[in-house]
Homo-oligomer: A and B are copies of this chain.
């Protein structure tokens, strides 16, 4: 808020705040405008619709969530370890969010379902990170020859149970950690050169 002019970033931050405080249903454009101390017409100056505003918030949330994983993907650990760390971090951070603040997680889950296009971008980015790890493993000879994009997709799909927000309700079950380890082991063994 360095300037008095209403800025896109300010609107997004305030919207996140309203979402956190009051939940999805009560986060109307009017509410956001009230929280900003402006009329709702002003919000429409920066976003063409309520859907666009929500989409932008969703995109920002997913981009932040991806940052940690990008660091791991770009590390120079051996590919099998790097893959394990990446998949574990992806699961653990999502799981922590879902368990720490279920209502906020549910809010963003609903937003994600509403904005399929934004989620698709996110998935594409995640797949690119996975492909980079697979390519490193192919180059080092750790992984058996395979088309990297197909392998990345297969790994991503295989951990869907521990990634897909629709299945989040099962992440609180006691045995879930062991189950994740089981799939992780299976997946890594499936990639390794023999």
Residue of B nearest to A149 (CB): B182
Q: Are B166 and A183 in contact (CB under 8 A)?
A: no
- Is A50 interfacial (CB 8 A cutoff)? no
Residue of B nearest to A155 (CB): B186
A123 to chain B, nearest CB (A): 11
- Is A189 interfacial (CB 8 A cutoff)? yes
Contact-residue bracket for chain A? 20 to 34
- Is A154 interfacial (CB 8 A cutoff)? yes
- Is A161 interfacial (CB 8 A cutoff)? yes
- Is A22 interfacial (CB 8 A cutoff)? no
State the oligomeric state as a number of copies.
2
- Is A8 interfacial (CB 8 A cutoff)? no
Q: What string of 1s and 0s marks CB contacts (under 8 Å) between A73-104 and chain B?
A: 00000000000000000000000000000000
Question: Quick one: which of A126-148 are within 8 Å of B by CB?
Answer: 144
- Is A187 interfacial (CB 8 A cutoff)? yes
A35 to chain B, nearest CB (A): 34
Residues of B within 8 A of A182 (CB): 150-151, 153-154, 157
Contact of A157 among B153, B155, B166, B179 (CB under 8 A): B179
User: Could you tell me which A residues sit within 8 Å of B by CB distance?
Assistant: 144, 150-151, 153-155, 157-162, 164, 166-167, 178-179, 182-183, 185-191, 194
Q: Please name 13 pairs of A and B residues whose Cβ atoms are closer than 8 Å in the assembled complex, sorted by A.
A: A151-B186, A153-B179, A154-B183, A157-B161, A157-B162, A158-B158, A158-B183, A160-B160, A161-B164, A164-B166, A186-B190, A189-B190, A189-B191
Closest 4 CB pairs of A and B: A190-B190, A154-B182, A160-B161, A186-B190
